[in-house]
Structure 1
């Protein structure tokens, strides 16, 4: 076991190295340059940083479980330097990923964690950064059977390479790769997997919008679309006073406007298809393969997307849908089925929902909040600072105490959440940002190194930001008092 712990400390963190520079390969992607606004692209990169922070904290526990099984229950010891050991690791990791990915679409509680990856309304390299935090907490169980054969070093290497490969298939720029399409997962195949489609089902009276393109639950009294409208309307009255914080009068009418409208039908032939990571042969073998139809336009995202750029909210909101569905069931058998069966399952229907419940969505409005230029510049600057902080943590965390790492992680997560709230023009975003900036100034003043020019510059930036948001908050509070 001691040898296994030494392996974990010395094994390269390929995905962490990639995530610590999340924007470098994206700026050359034509899809990104044409389609992604600053808020959308920043939100996706926030998901990547959050996922990497989660892996940084919890990856050790997963590795310990794998190494424990290998050292105590392995069936054979494969030769370390043999090419066949590495080939077996490649195939084994991708086979397990196929079933993990398929389960994430066919098991309700797993879909609640995976849906964030499908929530983007664009399809470019930034979508590859949009990874789930909570999915990894249970997803590693699908890889543990490999521990009876595959050495830990081979597994850890190819699990990371498998994930890195999938980053590059999130693009519309590559149309076809010829004969490689028969064996490997390609952008053409993965576009099918991300296509928008839906099922319409009935559910409990308090159900929030459920699942993305594949299956969407509504109440017995109203469609989910109405729920979304009502939910948005309830927030609008509260935000009217706060809108002036970020938006100018000329852009006020655009607040929470949905722009870049496109029209198409749902891609029903894409339903539950193309789960492979590196290889597409698993989908061909198990009947989940579908080829792209070039003449049919593909629309991406969830049928009823949550109108938010807050990465933390998008990571966790769907779990309330699972809880509400569980509560709506009348007996324990159905309650358990509401968790482990498909997202659109209802009593009396097949595990993955009924075919007659498929729903065509004919139009698509994309969420976009119009912010003034100064606000976008401010958010971009602070986002870059957060990414630099994450890079420093990725380089130094092995030499830091666990408490210091957790504190660093908590501050970065809070910063990403606040940036998302500001992009949403959330009514309490200015208060969160004020506290965040003040916390940074206090920490540097008490614990920061002396005579460090970089830290001094950052402290000055955050001090100015603190005064700015303090004045803004006082101004908005005065307006609220007058309106009452």
Structure 2
């Protein structure tokens, strides 16, 4: 291989000091302007979860690269026979295509994390904070590293070098750190194509109308293309977190409480269809209708909004008829 795994640079090493400085600056602005963007318990939870995620990310990096190399080598004869090349190399345009492909993968990986309960259990920790700050960016699920590479396997199959793929994934994660802040205003032109903190606030909100929106990593165009984009409304108060927040804030509870709830739900029903839906159905699904999915909640919200809007119109019509 042209670049050995042992010599692969780790971009995070260079950005950690920048991350730390920006978090301190944001915390200072929060204190000076009394914005309450941080609190001690929440920040400690983010720190502990982030440390665990960093350790697990390091431990699973070899697994990710090995898996990518396996498919890279396995499909090389087929690439030579049917596509006429053994690999795509390291040209600048290959990097661009890899970055776009990586971001496309992230969109669908992220979207499924919100629409399939088992994956939501792994991702939920990232949304568990009622605060939205740069420290929240480090709240990454500990189990998500086990299945995440599956979405990226088509890239080494097509001939993208596994090291290039890993670096693009790292750059994507670094970019997303800067999305977690309420201090950045709306960026009109740039924000039409690229993800911004303004747009990402919608993704972390638990307002009914904002649920399961804006899943993009670097590019926001995927959400526009696939119908999951929602702009932030200035007049609407944004509430961060999840609809049913965990009662404890230790990293073990934050990472595994939803898996425990899934197991309880699976054991509570006899139907294999219901068991399957409790694992692979959307979060909030229930066999008896006692809970509701985000789509059901949004449908109710829309119906109530229309009813509230129609009521004054009906009253005006009635008043006109009486007159």
TM-score > 0.5, shorter chain as reference: yes
Shift, 1:347, TM fit: 3.6
Q: Which runs of 5 or more residues in structure 1 are unaligned?
A: 197-266, 361-484
Checking the alignment, whether the CA contact within 8 Å between 2:208 and 2:298 is kept in structure 1 is: no
Q: Is 1:179 paired with 2:189? A: yes
Of 38, 41, 44, which aligns to 1:42? 44
Distance (whole Å) between structure 2 residues aligned to residue 187 and residue 357 of structure 1: 23
Q: 2:233 aligns with which of 283, 293, 302?
A: 293
Measure how far apart 1:35 and its partner are: 2.4
Task: State how far apart, in whole Å, the 2-side matches of 1:181 and 1:358 are.
Answer: 28
Q: Does the C-alpha gap of structure 1 residues 315 and 32 become closer, same or farther in structure 2, counting only changes over 3 Å?
A: farther
- Residue of structure 1 in register with 2:268 after alignment: 328
Q: Is the 8 A contact 2:117 2:279 kept in 1?
A: yes
Equivalent residue, structure 2, for 1:70 = 72
Q: Deviations over 1:269-314 (max 9, x none)?
A: 2121100000001000000001110110101112232233312221
Structure 2 residue 71 is matched with structure 1 residue 92: no
| Equivalent position of 2:305 in the other structure | none
Q: 1:338 aligns with which of 278, 287, 290?
A: 278
Q: State the secondary structure of the residue aligned to 1:25.
A: helix
Larger C-alpha radius of gyration, 1 or 2?
Answer: 1
Q: Which runs of 4+ in 1 moved over 6 A?
A: 357-360
1:348-385 alpha-carbon deviations (Å, 9 max, x no partner): 87x9565258788xxxxxxxxxxxxxxxxxxxxxxxxx
Shift of the 56–191 alpha-carbon distance from structure 1 to 2, 3 Å rule, reads: same
Cα separation, partners in 2 of 1:87 and 1:102, compared to 1, 3 Å: same
Cα offsets for 1:332-357 (capped at 9, x unmatched)? 122112111101123487x9565258
Secondary structure of the 1:297 match is coil
Residue 150 of structure 2 corresponds to which residue in structure 1? 141
Number of the residue aligned with 1:377: none
Pairing partner for 1:122 from 122, 128, 131: 131
Q: Tell me the equivalent position of 1:241.
A: none
| 2:167 counterpart (140, 157, 169) | 157
Question: Are 2:20 and 1:29 equivalent residues in the alignment?
Answer: no
What RMSD, in angstroms, separates the aligned Cα atoms of the two structures?
2.4
Deviations 1:361-418 (A, max 9, x none): xxxxxxxxxxxxxxxxxxxxxxxxxxxxxxxxxxxxxxxxxxxxxxxxxxxxxxxxxx
Structure 1 pair 182/296, CA: closer, same or farther in 2 (3 Å)?
Answer: same
1:55 Cα shift? 1.2
Of 94-103 and 315-324, deviating more is 315-324
Partner of 2:117: 108
Structure 2 unaligned blocks of 5 or more: 80-84, 302-323
Say which SS state the counterpart of residue 334 (structure 1) adopts.
helix
Q: In 2 relative to 1, CA 358–117 (structure 1 residues): closer, same or farther, beyond 3 Å? A: farther
**1:77 Cα offset (Å):** 4.0
Quick one: distance in 1 between partners of 2:297 and 2:64?
41
With over 3 angstroms needed to count, the CA separation of the structure-2 counterparts of 1:16 and 1:139, relative to structure 1, is farther
Deviation at 1:37, TM superposition (A): 2.0
Tell me how far apart the structure 1 counterparts of residues 259 and 10 of structure 2 sit (CA, whole Å): 30
State yes or no: 1:166 paired with 2:176: yes
- Checking the alignment, whether the CA contact within 8 Å between 1:118 and 1:194 is kept in structure 2 is yes
**Contact 2:208–2:294 at 8 Å: present in 1 too?**
no
Q: Is the 8 A contact 1:26 1:32 kept in 2?
A: no
Question: Residues 70, 32 of structure 1: CA spacing in aligned structure 2 closer, same or farther, 3 A cutoff?
Answer: farther
CA contact (8 A) 1:78 1:85 kept: no
